Amino acid sequence: MRFTAIKHLTISFTLSLVVVLFNVFSSTENIYSFWHGIEILFWLTVGPGLGMLISDIVRQWLIPDAIYTREGTIGIFKAKIFWSIGPQFIGWLLGLLAISEQLN
C-alpha cells in the first residue's frame, strides 16, 4: 500500500513539475512568484495523487477475474489497458477537479 501511494504521488509530482516549469519558462504569466509556483506544485501533487490512490483502491476491488470479449485478442488488449491505467486517470482527473479552486 505504501509503495502504491509513493508511486502515485511521484507520477503526480512529475506531471505537476512539468506543468509548473512550462508556465515559468513560457510567457503565460500564470505563476506570479516563487511561492505561488510552490503552492501550485503542492496542490497539483496532492489532489491528483490522492485521487489516483483512491481510484487504484477502487480498481483493485472492482477488477474482474476474467474478461470475455467478442473482438478476440484486440478486445482483451483494450480491456487490459483500460484496467491498468483507466481508473487511475479518472482518479487523477477527479483529484484535479477537486483542487481546481486552489489553483487561482
Report the distance separating Cα 8 and Cα 97, nearest Å. 17
Contact indicator for 59, 87 with CB cutoff of 8 Å: yes
pLDDT > 90 in the chain, percent: 62
pLDDT tens track for 30-57: 888 889 889 999 999 999 999 999 999 9
Higher pLDDT, 98 or 2: 98
User: How many degrees, rounded to 5, is the angle at CA 67 between CA 65 and CA 48?
Assistant: 75
Mean per-residue pLDDT of the chain: 90
Q: Is the pLDDT of residue 12 over 90?
A: yes
Calculate mean pLDDT across residues 11-17.
93
Name the residue type at position 91.
G
Q: Is the pLDDT of residue 104 over 90?
A: no
Name the residue type at position 30.
N
> pTM of this prediction?
0.82
Contact indicator for 89, 48 with CB cutoff of 8 Å: no
Residues shown for the chain: 104
Calculate mean pLDDT across residues 58-65.
91
User: In 3D, which of 44, 36, 38 has the Cα closest to residue 11?
Assistant: 44
Calculate mean pLDDT across residues 12-21.
92
Report the distance separating Cα 16 and Cα 85, nearest Å. 18
